[in-house]
Each structure stands twice: as C-alpha cells, then as structure tokens.
A = this chain, B = another copy of it.
Amino acid sequence: GTGADNDLYINQAVVFIEDAIQYRSINHRVDSRSLWLYRWYYSRACQWILSLTITIILALAFIEKPSSLTITSDVRYRLPAWNPPCGLTESIELLCLLVFMVDVSVKSYLIGWEEFWKNKWLVAYILTLIVSLADWIVSLSFFCTEDVRIRRILRPFFLLQNSSMMKKTLKSINSTLPEMASVVLLLAVHLSLFTMFAMLLFARTKDGQQDKEWVVYFRNLPDSLTSLLVLLTTANNPDVMIPAYSKNRAYSIFFILFTVLGNLFLMNLLTAIIYNQFRGYLLKSVQSSLFRRRLGIRAAFEVLSSLRETPANTQQPHVSFGALVQVLQKVEMDSRCKQAIMRSLEMCSCDQLSAAQFQKLFEELDKDAIKQHPPSPEYQSSFMQKMQFASGHPYFGYLGNVVALANIVSICVVLVMDADKQPSERDDFFLGAINCFFILYYLLEMLLKILAMGLKRYLSYPSNRFDGLLTVILLVLEVATFAVYGFPHPGWRPEFLGLLSLWDMVRLVNMLIVFRFLRIIPNMKFMALVVTTLLDLVKNLRAFAGILVVVFYAFAITGIMLFKGAVVPLGNISAVNTTYGNGTLQCGTYEQLEYWPNNFDDFAVMKNVISWLSLVTFRLRLFTAYLLSVNLICRWAKIYFVAWWLISSVIWVNLFVALLLENFIHKWDRRCHREPISDIEYQRTVELMFRDVLEEPTEEELMEKLHQHPHLQLCR
C-alpha cells in the first residue's frame, strides 16, 4: 500500500542521510528488511563488537605459543614462558572467525550478489576466511604442534578490510608504486655498477698484507653487494673505507662518490617522488568524501520527493516540510547539528523545499563545531573579585610556568649532585622537602584557578585538565609517601616499606613533575603551532599507522617463523662475567655486542622492529651474519632484512615525510590567513581544513551517479 511505500521512502531517506553524515557509500540494498539490517550492522554496538574482535585476534599473537609473557627477552636470563594450553587461543580464534563470517555475509548481502563479485576486497575477505579456517582445522588436528601457521600472517588483513581510509590509502600507495619501482631500479643499477667497480678496485693483490679491504668487505660478489648496501644505509660508514683509506687517501673518492650519489641524490629523489605523488592525496580524499556526502543528501531528497506525487509540480521536484521533520527525528546524528537544522528549517517557514534548499539545510554538517567555554562565575564580594582578577590574569599563568621551571631546575641540580654518590650515601631529604613545597604551590594554583573560572570552565580547557590531573596524582603520591615514611627530615633514608621504596616514590614524583612541565607548550606560539600540527597529523595518520601495523605484523610473524630459536646464548659464559674483549669474542660481532634480547622468539619482536624504524643504522650486516652463522636454515635472512629495510625505512618513512609536508604546509599557509579567536576553539577536521579549495559536485554528476545505483530505481 501507499502507507508502506511511504514508510519505506522515509526509511530510505533516513539511511541515506546517515550515510551522508558518515561519508559512506549509498550503493546498498534499499528494501525494508535490508534497511533494517543495514542500520543494525552500522549501529554503534555492532561496529564496536567488530572492532573488538579485530583487536582480540591481533592481540592473540602476544599470548600464543611463543608467548611474550616474560619480563625480559634476553635469551640468557629468560625463564620459560607460560604457554596457553592447546585449544585455548584456538577457541578464541574460532569465535573471532565466526564473527568475521557473519560480518562478511551481512556485507555481501547488503551490497547485493552482483556487486559482490566486482568487489575484490570482499572476495579476498572470504578467501582469507576460508584459508584461516582450513589452517585452524590443520592446527587442531596436529594438536597445535605444527610450526607454520599461515593464518597468523593473514590476520592483519581483517584490520585492513575494515577501514575504508586504509583501503583508500593503500590504493594511493599502489598508484605510486611504478615511480618508486623506477627509483629502486635506479638504486639497484647504482649499487651493482659500484659493486663491480669496487671489486675491480679492491681486488686481491699479490702482496697479501695490503688487501685488508678485500678480505673484510669485498671478498666476493655477495659480500661486496652487502658492504655497499649497508653503506647506503650509512650503518658501516666510515668503517668500510678505513682499510683502503689507510692505504691511500684517493680511495676515499670512491666512497664519497657512492655516498653522495646514493644517499644524497637517489634516496632524496625517492622522497621527492613520493611527495610529488602524494601532494594531492589529502585533497583528493577529502573531495571524494564531500562527494559521498552530497550524494547521500541528494539521494534522500530524491526518495522523499517521490513520496507524494502531486502532479502540479512534476517539473520541479519538491520535498514536503512534514516528511523532512519525520526523517530528521529518525536520523541518528549529533544533537547540536540536528537542532541547528531544525532551527533553520523553521526559520525558512516554507512548506516545500527544492533540491537546493534541501542541500543547503544540511550544510550545517560541514560547519565548524564551535566550542564555547562556560562563563566564569560572578562573585559579589570585592575581595573575591580581586582574587578572581589576579588568578585569571595571564601573569598568574606565567608565574605557574616559572615555578614549574624552577622545580625542574632543582630536580636537575639534585640529579647532577647525586650522580656519583653511592645509593647508600644519598639523602632524600632535600628533594623531598622542595617537592613538597612545589606540589603545595601546584595545589594552590589549581584551587585559585578553579575559584576564578569555576569548575566547569576550568575543566573545559584541555591544558587545565592535564594540569589538574597531574597535580591530583602528585598530591596523592606525596600524601601516600608521608603516610608510609613520615615527614622528610635531614638524613631521611628509610628502609623499604609498602609497595614502592621511598626512592622509587621520589623518582616517580620527579618524572611526573618533568611531564607536567609540558604545560608550557601552549604558551609558546611556534611550539603550539608545531604541536597542533603534530596532533592533526596523528589524526590523519591513522590510516598510515594501520597499514604500518599490518606490515609490521606480517613481518614479525614471518620473522618468528623463519628465525625462531636462532639466537642461542654462548655455552658456558655466565651472564655477569662476560667482559669485553676477553680473548674469546671478536669485536663487533653479535655476541660481543650482547644483542641477546634482539631475537625472534616471540611476538614482542614487534617492539624491536618498531625501534628499528629509524633503520638508517640498521645493524643489517651484523644480524644477518649472526643468523647465517648460527643456522643454515636462515639463508633467507638477508633477503628478509633487505625487504624490511626497503619497506619500513625507505618507503614508509618517505610516505610519512610526504604526509607531514602536506599537512604542515597547509597548516602554515592557513596560519597567516586567520588569527586565532581568543575564547572560541575550532575543532578542525581534515575536511574543514580544505573547505576553501574543495569543489562542489554539480547536479549532473550527482544525478548520473544516482542513476547508476544498483538497487534504487528513481522514477525520473
């Protein structure tokens, strides 16, 4: 009946507007049941469950069989880790996989079977699930004793497919690949030509004493290639040139040429290329989001306009006031926006809305969210007014900064004075006393500020929240210290009591004080700009970080599979007695440098791997040499590490630099345009940052897209 039809149209409009708000695609089924399923699937609870499931399945790697639940990863000290019994992690995994199966079926159903086959991501999702399940069954049938578990490498895919931002970013990276490949090829040519040069230059001589360079670095083709590759990462500079340079000054020319061409030109060229490709990336992505929003709104308008067919105005489709109010009440959106839209709808006071008016109503969604701080309380007493004036004055804030600085300096002085003292000689009285004084001042400052601003206004500033929270923690710690150890007095050096020793308490308090010092940042104009840029960057970087996690995860799991147990401690050298150069250890080797904690025995290797992100000094050669010497299976080590260096250090870091440049330059340009308004904070998003340069999609584009919708049949 028409009533059911009307309900359907209303529901469609509601869903399309919600799609527009969330920048989602509108290409899904639009019948009643599917709409219900769609709203259920994108409800907060469902999405939250899905995210939790992804987190759980990724986090499983930490407790799965080579579990990371030991305090140290040093093979010399490490106790056998607790390993979960067979079936525990596997059953959790099965639950997760079941959730993913539900997810993929709902998703596939919603976009329709025809669309499903065109969507490579969904097909890959299903394939991944099938492989994972098969691997899971194999795993259980071997009672968890098999080593190679493919499904662990596949896991990050679940993270990848769930984020449209990450998929978009991946597409961007993909389009940069040909250019990157060219530069990498150029690097390879550079490397191989110089390797041949080096082999000819540092050939074995008849005089055996002169060819140290040949023996150590250029013995054969793989050795020479590795030496120069590591020189490209600058990790063995200047070691690699010392023997030759010691023979003749002129040999340094070879190394300088290689470094200048490779490191300075080619490596930076990669940065330039990646930046050049990514220059428009943010803008393009924001532009397509805008298109999705306008399309959703337009689709809602179209379905609403077919609601009542009044033949009088078939030329100009219109939407009635009542239908729109009905829709708006059903839509889930930010209450501030909803109110603003309702208000402007009432002000318009028209019975029928044209497409343009409809679109204009929803522009409220694009607007800056202006955050108004609550007002300060007004006091009657003139004393209170004076107090309020004094504590509200900027100088009071500056005084607080000066006091914080003084505190830092005093801690620093005590640290320098105590540096060479034995722990038993240390006197904690001085620090205890001054910290007590400073914390009292911080408390006073907080109370005065609350008095001046009122609690609500005080808490509405992030800097005050940061300040206040740290002050409260410091106060609690200090009170706890006094409760356990009594008040400080000269020679105040009590023994261990309670949870933490006094010394640890004092250290903790000091660290928190150092941390609290960061409150000065907003006071320094340039620093504030830099910090806000960085914070913005972090927001925009989520997709990148996600992809990085995916890559890290895959590399870490592969590393564990390849090199697990490869690092074994030296036989009878006790941990403590290992002195340097005791005649048995060669300098510069893995053993001598005591790199024991750097192994691939559990998933916390990810941390190692992250700390190697600044891989310019990647100890590639060393580690590879060690792995090669220990275990013959590890012949893949070199390839693994070179791939890792290329992806993490070269490509990812350059992507990061490109994004940083993009963000920073936009921000910087913008800084000159508008002065910050004192009491109002704009909550800027990427979308808003680009608003001036974005192009509105034309009516024709929107309608063409709408007519391509696979499930929606428009009347006109």
CB contacts (< 8 Å) of A415 on chain B: these are 196, 199-200, 221
Chain B CB within 8 A of A526 CB: yes
Give A60-117 interface residues, CB cut-off 8 Å to B. Answer: 68, 70-74, 76-77
- Stretch of A9-17, A256-264, A556-564, A675-683 lying at the B interface: A256-264
CB contacts (< 8 Å) of A596 on chain B: these are 246
Chain B CB within 8 A of A530 CB: yes
CB contacts (< 8 Å) of A593 on chain B: these are 239, 242, 587
Task: Give A192 Cβ to nearest chain B Cβ, in Å.
Answer: 8
CB contacts (< 8 Å) of A203 on chain B: these are 503, 507
Chain B CB within 8 A of A523 CB: no
Identity of the chain B residue whose Cβ is nearest the Cβ of A588 in the assembled complex:
B587
Task: Give A582 Cβ to nearest chain B Cβ, in Å.
Answer: 8
CA distance A494 to B174 in the complex (A): 57
CA distance A179 to B665 in the complex (A): 13
Per-position contact with B for A690-715: 1 when CB-CB < 8 Å, else 0? 00000000000000000000000000
Task: Give A297 Cβ to nearest chain B Cβ, in Å.
Answer: 35
- Stretch of A23-31, A142-150, A510-518 lying at the B interface: A510-518
Give A506-550 interface residues, CB cut-off 8 Å to B. Answer: 507, 510-511, 514, 517-518, 526-527, 530, 533-534, 537
Give A261-283 interface residues, CB cut-off 8 Å to B. Answer: 263-265, 268-269, 271-273, 275-276, 279
Cβ–Cβ contact A616 & B613, under 8 A: no
Chain B CB within 8 A of A604 CB: yes
Identity of the chain B residue whose Cβ is nearest the Cβ of A501 in the assembled complex:
B206
Cβ–Cβ contact A607 & B664, under 8 A: no
Given contacts A249-B72, A415-B196, A613-B260, contact A204 B581 (CB under 8 A): no
Cβ–Cβ contact B264 & A614, under 8 A: yes
Chain B CB within 8 A of A307 CB: no
Chain B CB within 8 A of A128 CB: no
Cβ–Cβ contact A264 & B656, under 8 A: yes
CB contacts (< 8 Å) of A189 on chain B: these are 527
Chain B CB within 8 A of A612 CB: yes
Per-position contact with B for A646-669: 1 when CB-CB < 8 Å, else 0? 000000010011001100110010
Chain B CB within 8 A of A47 CB: no
Given contacts A221-B415, A276-B665, A580-B586, contact A534 B265 (CB under 8 A): yes
CB contacts (< 8 Å) of A614 on chain B: these are 234, 237, 259, 263-264
Contact of A72 among B71, B220, B246 (CB under 8 A): B246
Chain B CB within 8 A of A411 CB: yes
Contact of A220 among B260, B419, B592 (CB under 8 A): B419
Cβ–Cβ contact B77 & A249, under 8 A: no
Cβ–Cβ contact A597 & B242, under 8 A: yes
Cβ–Cβ contact B619 & A238, under 8 A: yes
CA distance A219 to B419 in the complex (A): 7
CB contacts (< 8 Å) of A182 on chain B: these are 526-527, 530
Cβ–Cβ contact A424 & B272, under 8 A: no
Chain B CB within 8 A of A58 CB: no
Per-position contact with B for A193-210: 1 when CB-CB < 8 Å, else 0? 100110111011110010
The range of chain A's interface size is 35 or more
Cβ–Cβ contact A248 & B72, under 8 A: yes
CB contacts (< 8 Å) of A196 on chain B: these are 408, 411-412, 415, 510, 514
Cβ–Cβ contact B424 & A510, under 8 A: no
Chain B CB within 8 A of A420 CB: yes
CB contacts (< 8 Å) of A423 on chain B: these are 204-206
Cβ–Cβ contact B256 & A610, under 8 A: yes
Chain B CB within 8 A of A41 CB: no
Cβ–Cβ contact B412 & A271, under 8 A: no
Cβ–Cβ contact A612 & B238, under 8 A: yes
CB contacts (< 8 Å) of A259 on chain B: these are 611, 613-614
Chain B CB within 8 A of A598 CB: yes
CB contacts (< 8 Å) of A73 on chain B: these are 245, 249
Chain B CB within 8 A of A235 CB: yes
Chain B CB within 8 A of A568 CB: no
Cβ–Cβ contact B588 & A245, under 8 A: no
CA distance A612 to B242 in the complex (A): 13
Given contacts A200-B510, A221-B412, A234-B617, contact A272 B661 (CB under 8 A): yes
Chain B CB within 8 A of A247 CB: yes
Chain B CB within 8 A of A594 CB: yes
Chain B CB within 8 A of A370 CB: no
CA distance A251 to B418 in the complex (A): 23
Identity of the chain B residue whose Cβ is nearest the Cβ of A531 in the assembled complex:
B186
CB contacts (< 8 Å) of A271 on chain B: these are 657, 660-661
Task: Give A624 Cβ to nearest chain B Cβ, in Å.
Answer: 15
Identity of the chain B residue whose Cβ is nearest the Cβ of A663 in the assembled complex:
B272
Chain B CB within 8 A of A241 CB: yes
Give A572-608 interface residues, CB cut-off 8 Å to B. Answer: 576, 580-583, 585-588, 592-598, 604, 607-608
Task: Give A507 Cβ to nearest chain B Cβ, in Å.
Answer: 5
Contact of A594 among B246, B263, B416, B507 (CB under 8 A): B246
CA distance A668 to B276 in the complex (A): 8
Task: Give A406 Cβ to nearest chain B Cβ, in Å.
Answer: 14
Task: Give A76 Cβ to nearest chain B Cβ, in Å.
Answer: 8
Given contacts A196-B514, A613-B260, contact A268 B238 (CB under 8 A): no
Chain B CB within 8 A of A345 CB: no
Cβ–Cβ contact A220 & B510, under 8 A: no
Chain B CB within 8 A of A183 CB: yes
The 5 closest A-B pairs by CB, nearest first: A220-B419, A587-B587, A272-B664, A74-B246, A182-B526
**A-B contacts, 15 listed (Cβ < 8 Å):** A196-B510, A203-B503, A219-B419, A237-B611, A237-B614, A238-B608, A239-B593, A256-B611, A272-B664, A276-B661, A276-B665, A276-B668, A581-B592, A585-B587, A616-B617
Known: A70-B249, A268-B657. 13 other contacts (CB 8 A): A74-B246, A193-B517, A205-B423, A209-B576, A234-B617, A242-B598, A249-B597, A269-B530, A271-B661, A272-B661, A276-B664, A279-B665, A583-B583
